[in-house]
Amino acid sequence: MTTTSSNISIRTAVEDDLPLILRFIQDLAEYERLRDKCVASADKLRVTLFGEHPAAEVLIASADNEPVGFALFFHSYSTFLAQRGVFLEDLFVSPAARGRGVGRALLSRLSQIAIERDCGRLEWFVLDWNDLAISFYRSLGADPMDDWTMFRLTGPALEILAKNSP
């Protein structure tokens, strides 16, 4: 589905968008000062986004018919709501396109998707140092979940725990 707001359009990504999606992911990693952690490749993205069992979906934002951002999301589940949710893994807008409503358009489309799919919430993380993003999200009415701490197992720690299961 394509939605348009003034000169901004949002569409669902297709497999031919893989180079663009990878570029946006790498640009996001650079912006978040995590480029050394980014090991995504077009081949991995092809399998995980467009393979037999897609793990996530991607929206592409364009302004004046030029791709300027993306949102990558997947479904989560709330036991308290007994309902699916939408989890926004990544949102990125190219620096030159910021302040033009692209981020708002992507989040608006994600909100529509959540409602269309009978989801109870739309959630995402933001880095603590990203004051501009935090201010923007608050302006939309989003509430920070300050009473929760995210934990992560990855790499060797994940492997060790997996090997030590009862």
- Is 31 one of the annotated active-site residues of the chain? no
Rounded Cα–Cα distance for residues 127 and 84 (Å) = 24
CA distances from residue 136 to 42, 53, 57, 127, 148 in whole angstroms, order as listed: 31, 33, 23, 13, 21
Catalytic residue of the set 61, 94, 137, 148: 137
> Dihedral of CA 109/82/153/39: which sign?
negative
- Whether residue 88 contacts residue 99, with contact meaning beta carbons closer than 8 Å, is answered with no
- Whether residue 11 contacts residue 1, with contact meaning beta carbons closer than 8 Å, is answered with yes
Sheet with strand 8-12: strands edge to edge: 3-5, 8-12, 57-63, 66-78, 83-93, 122-124
Q: Tell me how crowded residue 124 is: count the other CB atoms within 10 A of its CB.
A: 17
Residues tagged active-site: 137
